[in-house]
Structure 1
Amino acid sequence: MRRNQILAAFVAAIAFGSASFAAEPEKLELSDGKMSLVAPESWKKVAPKVRIIDFEFEAPAAAEGGDTGRITIMGAGGSIEANVDRWVGQFAGAVKQPMKEEKVAGQTVYLVDISGDFRDQRGPFAQAEIKKDYRMLGAIIKTEKAGQYFIKFTGPKTTVEHNEKAFKAMVNSLEVK
C-alpha cells in the first residue's frame, strides 16, 4: 500500500511538476518599466555573462547537437555607427547587409545583419576563439524616454536563420509606456 502511494505521488509530481517548466513567453521590462519586449517561448533565459547585460537568452540550435545562439539585451550609450562598427569588427571577413531603419511602437529601430567568422572574446584580455560561419542580428532601439537599447543575437548561421522570425517578433513586440 505504501509503495503504491509513493508511486502515485511520484507520477503526480512528474505530471503536474513538468507543467510548471513549460516555456511561456516572458515579458521583459526595460528602463525601469518605461518599455517592454516579449521574449520567444523557445528561448531559454540564462544568467547574463557580464553585469552590463540586462537579459540574456539561449536560442535553440537549428539541428540536434548543433550550437545554440546567444541573445543579449542591454541599455547603452554611444553612437549607432560606433556600435555597429564595433560589431562588424567582431567578425573576420565580415559581410554586412545595409542597415535598415524601421518604426516600432513609434520608436526608431535600426536593424543590422552581419556574417563571417566570429571572434568570440570573453573579456578584454582574453584570447578570442574564432567561430566559423557565424551570423549576428542586431536591433538598436532609439527612444526619447528610455535611451538606447541594444539586442544582439549571435550564433551559427543556421541557428540564427532558424530563429530569425522569433527575433523579429520580439523586436516587433516593443511597447513604450
Structure 2
Amino acid sequence: MIQQWRSFYSKVVILCAVSIHGCGSTEDESRTDLPIPEAEPLPAENAPSDRGEQQAAGVKEFDGIQFRVPAGWEQVALTPAQQGMISASFKIPQAGNGVKLTLSSVGGGIDANIQRWKGQFQLPPGEAPLQETIRIDHVDAIWLDLRGTFDSGPAINSSVALGMRMIGVAIPRSPRDFYLKLTGPREQLLKAEAEFREFVKSARFVQ
C-alpha cells in the first residue's frame, strides 16, 4: 500500500513539473519584444541642409536691381574675402560644377573693367572677344564673351585654367556700375548660356 502511494505521488510530482515548465515557456514566448517604432521622417522644409547654399528661384534684388532667378540655381554664401566686393554668388549645378556666377557693383568705369576682363584671357589664335550691346530695362549694357586660358590675376585664390569661357555683362549705374560675370569650362558654360541671357534680360531697376 505504501509502495503504491509513493508511485502515485511520484507521478503527480512529475506531471506538475512538466506543467510548470510548459506554462513558463508559453509565457516567455508571448513576451516577444515588439519592434521599436521608427521616427517619422522630417518634412522637406525642416530637413537639415547646407546653410551655405540655398535654392534661389524667384525674384531677388541685388544692389537696386531685381532679377528673376531660374529654378535650380543655388545661391552660395560669400567667403570673407568676397564680402564687400561681391554682392551675390551662384552655382548652376545642371550646367556643371565648374560654372559660377558673381554679381557686383564696382567703380572705375565700364571701359576700364571691360579691358581688365579682356586682360584675364589669352585667346587661341584666330579668336577674338565677342562684344555686343544688349538692352536691359531701357538701358544699353555690354555683353562680352571671352574664351581661352583664364588667368584671374594677382587676386586672392588666383588661378590659371585652360579651355575656359567667361560671359561678362556691364550695366551702367550710378554711383557704381553693375557687373555680372559667368565663368566656367567652355562645354559647361554652353549649357548655361541661354538661361543666363534670360536672367540678364529679366533685370528691372528698382525706383
Of the three residues 93, 112, 123, the one matched with 1:82 is 112
Distance 1:122 1:59 in 2: 26
Q: Does residue 57 of structure 1 match 2:74?
A: no
What's 2:189 paired with? 160
Contact 2:56 2:74 in 1 (8 A): no
Contact 1:104 1:174 in 2 (8 A): yes
Structure ranking higher in strand proportion = 1
What's 1:100 paired with? 132
> Superposition RMSD on alpha carbons, in Å?
2.8
Deviation digits for residues 86-134 of structure 1 (CA, Å, limit 9, x no counterpart): 111111236443321121211222100000011145726x6x4321100
Of the three residues 148, 172, 175, the one matched with 1:116 is 148
**Deviation >6 Å, runs of 4+:** none
Higher relative contact order (CA 8 A, sep 6+): 1
Higher Cα radius of gyration: 2
* Pairing 1:1-177 to 2, within 5 Å after superposition: 3-4=36-37, 6-7=38-39, 9-10=40-41, 13=42, 17=46, 23=55, 25-31=57-63, 34-49=64-79, 50-51=82-83, 52-60=85-93, 62=95, 67-93=97-123, 95-121=127-153, 123=155, 128-143=158-173, 147-177=176-206
Name the count of aligned residue pairs: 164
Q: TM-score of the superposition, structure 2-length normalised?
A: 0.68
State the percentage of identical aligned residues.
23
Mark the CA change 1:48 to 1:24 in structure 2 (over 3 Å): closer, same or farther.
closer
Contact 1:91 1:116 in 2 (8 A): yes
What's 2:6 paired with? none
